[in-house]
Structure 1
Amino acid sequence: MFAARQSFNSLFQKRAFSASARAASKVTVLGAGGGIGQPLSLLLKLNPRVTELALYDIRGGPGVAADLSHINTNSTVTGYNPDAAGLADALKGSEIILIPAGVPRKPGMTRDDLFNTNASIVNSTVPIVSEVYKARGVYNPKRLFGVTTLDVVRASRFISQVQKTDPSNEKVPVVGGHSGVTIVPLLSQSGHPSIAGEARDALVNRIQFGGDEVVKAKDGAGSATLSMAMAGARFAESLLRAAQGEKGVIEPTFVDSPLYKDQGVDFFASRVELGPNGVEKIHPVGQVNEYEQKLLDAALVDLKKNIQKGVDFVKANP
């Protein structure tokens, strides 16, 4: 999943449901009829910061909108027809555009095929969008985000299960990308830096390949849709909070980043401070131990390939 802004705003967290002042904000979901799009749209409908919700898909958008419009929250929901005019209307005046990107299982595709196909989508799609924007002279690196929030959500949950703690209190930095070995949890910077050996290896592997766990549990019939929707909604909420003037809003996200450009990696996920104009500050990875440095080295190799895959796609499909 990735998010883009035209003027800027976003979604979900408990404090968002307080009676705080709200600015008018239109949020658009492209792919609203899908496995992620529907629960994501539901969470957005429940968010009081969202005053107008625009839903578009190649099929099903108006139906999802009609269903959600019955929910008694003070926002309007509109579903748009799957044509050029409908897409243009859905995007017009939107502050945040959320795009759940994924490929459903096809006949003959194994569970592993499905996971491998979807695994690098964020790592490649964000560069694809940036190249399209560049070609049209409208690229703003501060307003294009790959949503990697799910990796942090998983890390918090999984480490809490190991340590028997409250997952809502866990803070585990996760950097890199959003697929397999590109996902680098920095346990040394969490509240549990002493986790080591086999326990550490198993935890890191589970964080990196948590998506595969869901695909297998669904017997190849789908992937992580509900948890991804929650992650997308949380990221949108953070964008909205920052856009409406809240200071110090920080989320992990895959963005055009200077951190590893000298190694040919133009996009990287780290902690990013958000503001009214999008990216305000990209935080460095910070101090890591030897084990984590090896994870980072492996991540950078794959990230460079994923990013180049996206750039090459645009070149081959101008």
Structure 2
Amino acid sequence: MVKAVVLGAAGGIGQPLALLLKTNPLIDELGLYDIVNTPGVAADLSHIATPAKVEGFLPPNDGLKQVLTNADIVVIPAGVPRKPGMTRDDLFKINAGIVRDLATGIAQTAPKAFVLVISNPVNSTVPIVAEVFKKHGVFDPKRLFGVTTLDVVRASTFVSEVLGDLSLSKSVTVPVVGGHSGVTIVPLLSQSSHPLPSGFAQDKYDALIKRIQFGGDEVVKAKDGAGSATLSMAYAGAEFASKVLRAVKGEKGVKAPTYVSLAADPKGAEALKKELGQELEYFSSIVELGPEGVVAISPLGSITEQEQTLIKAAVPELSTNIQTGVSFIGSSKL
């Protein structure tokens, strides 16, 4: 029996994410939690003809504790969406406290669960969850993930567009490393399963990199204040959750880029840090998944001079983001 839980299940990401998880045959029980509307969302989903049992909880009557009891995997899309003109720093001021409180609930009720963090800014919210777990003595770096899958999905889609064939988008694989905001997002186009056309112009290359890094802005602008990247993020979250579950079930060779604590694989981390030329506690790289979570963190491998420049721009920003999350818990009352 596998129980999946969505914290923030009534929101713009939470509802479509819950829908996708309801259709996942690896999930037997689906618990939904939010401050409003989750019983209704659960009732709606429960009419879908798939085996997973669905139940929705609200804060009263220890709802968070109830939903987390016996949870195997917890996905956290909770928080406010980004609006036009809003930076991820602005988001942090609101979402940091939400993530802290949910992490406290997980630490107390489901400390062995795999935790997948979607709440932005991921570069800072993953360290927040880790610091809460550390304070409760339950931190396992192998079981905590920042979901960066949307950056991979965008890169695959946009490269397929460049190649003039969207039917390739499911087979195109582009490693995206670093973090999950702006310049910390580093697509390794040189390692794409489907190379860019020969003679691809520099200005087009730069535009493609920028589009992958700031794809969220494209959606926020298009929605004109009515939301952010909710549907594509839900799809990406469900895709990554499925990979974690497949690995937990024993499937070998499951790999995906994800933002993790480098303490999850000290040997892999050592090689990665040498490539980066700087100490970092968290980084998104290709991670091999297994029944206990992180099995191995891959190094960057052979990258171009242009990609080295992108990495150099990403690392200082990433370091600042990480420290922001750590400092938030250092100054918080749990």
Cα distance in 1 for residues equivalent to 2:15 and 2:228:
14
TM superposition shift of 1:104: 3.4
Structure 2 partner of 1:233? 238
In structure 2, relative to structure 1, the CA distance for the partners of 1:305 and 1:285 (3 Å cut) is same
Alpha-carbon separation, structure 1, partners of 2:89 and 2:163: 30
Counterpart residue number, 1:19: none
**Structure 2 match to 1:81:** 58
1:180 matched to 2:182? The reply is yes
Distance 1:250 1:316 in 2: 36
- Take 2:236 and 2:72, find their aligned partners in 1: how far apart are those partners? 19
Could you tell me which residue of structure 1 aligns to residue 170 of structure 2?
168
Partner residue of 1:265 out of 267, 277, 280: 280
Q: Secondary structure at the match of 2:17?
A: helix
Partner SS, residue 192 of structure 1: coil
Deviation at 1:116, TM superposition (A): 5.6
Which residue does the alignment assign to 1:99?
76
Alignment of 1:18-33 (within 5 A): 24-33=1-10
Q: 1:134-182 deviations in whole A, cap 9, x for unaligned?
A: 1111000000000000000000000110111311121111000000000
| DSSP-derived class of the 2:327 partner | helix
Q: 2:321 aligns with which of 306, 311, 314?
A: 306
Find the counterpart in structure 2 of residue 138 from structure 1: 138
Deviation at 1:80, TM superposition (A): 1.1
Partner SS, residue 113 of structure 1: coil
2:155/2:212 contact within 8 Å kept: yes
SS at match of 1:246: coil
Equivalent position amino acid for 1:192 in 2:
P
Q: 2: CA distance between counterparts of 1:265 and 1:50?
A: 34
- Identity, % of aligned positions: 59
Q: How far has the Cα of 1:117 moved from its partner?
A: 3.2
Compute the RMSD of aligned alpha carbons.
Answer: 1.6
* Counterpart AA for 2:154: R
Structure showing greater relative contact order (alpha-carbon pairs closer than 8 Å, 6 or more residues apart): 1
- Say yes or no: does 1:113 pair with 2:115: no
Deviation, structure 1 residue 115: 5.8
Q: Work out whether residues 149 and 232 of structure 1, in 8 Å CA contact, stay in contact via their aligned partners in 2.
A: yes
CA contact (8 A) 2:88 2:121 kept: no
Alignment match, 2:312 = 297
The 8 Å contact of residues 123 and 177 in structure 1, kept in 2 or not, is answered as yes
The 2-side partners of 1:201 and 1:58 are apart by 42
| In structure 1, C-alpha distance between the alignment counterparts of 2:301 and 2:151, rounded to whole Å | 18
Question: Where do 5+ consecutive residues of structure 1 fail to align?
Answer: 1-23
SS state of the match for residue 175, structure 1? strand
Q: How does 1:186-197 map to 2 (within 5 A)?
A: 186-190=188-192, 191-192=194-195, 194=198, 195-197=200-202
> Residue 74 of structure 1: SS of its match in structure 2?
coil
Partner AA of 2:182 in structure 1? G
How many residues matched? 291
Structure 2 residues not aligned, in runs of 5+: 93-119, 263-268
- TM (norm. structure 1) is 0.88
Corresponding residue number in structure 1 for 2:265: none
Letter in 2 for 1:117: D
Q: 1: CA distance between counterparts of 2:51 and 2:323?
A: 43
Q: What SS does the corresponding residue of 1:169 show, helix, strand or coil?
A: coil
Displacement of 1:83 in angstroms is: 3.2
SS in 2 for 1:93: coil
Q: Superposed, which structure 2 residues align to 1:186-225 within 5 Å? A: 186-190=188-192, 191-192=194-195, 194=198, 195-225=200-230
Does 2:33 correspond to 1:51? no
Q: Distance in 1 between matches of 2:172 and 2:85?
A: 30
The one-letter amino acid of 1:90's match is: V
Give the drift of 1:220.
1.7
Question: Matched residue of 2:314: which SS?
Answer: helix
SS class of match (1:168): coil
The one-letter code of the counterpart of 1:59 is: V
In 2, distance between residues paired with 1:84 and 1:305? 39
Give the match for residue 14 of structure 1.
none
Question: Does the 8 Å CA contact 2:175/2:187 hold for their aligned counterparts?
Answer: yes
Instruction: Give the secondary-structure state (helix, strand or coil) at the position aligned to 1:305.
Output: helix
Cα distance in structure 2, aligned partners of 1:302 and 1:286: 22
Matched, 1:151 2:148: no
Distance in 1 (CA, whole Å) between partners of 2:332 and 2:277 is 27
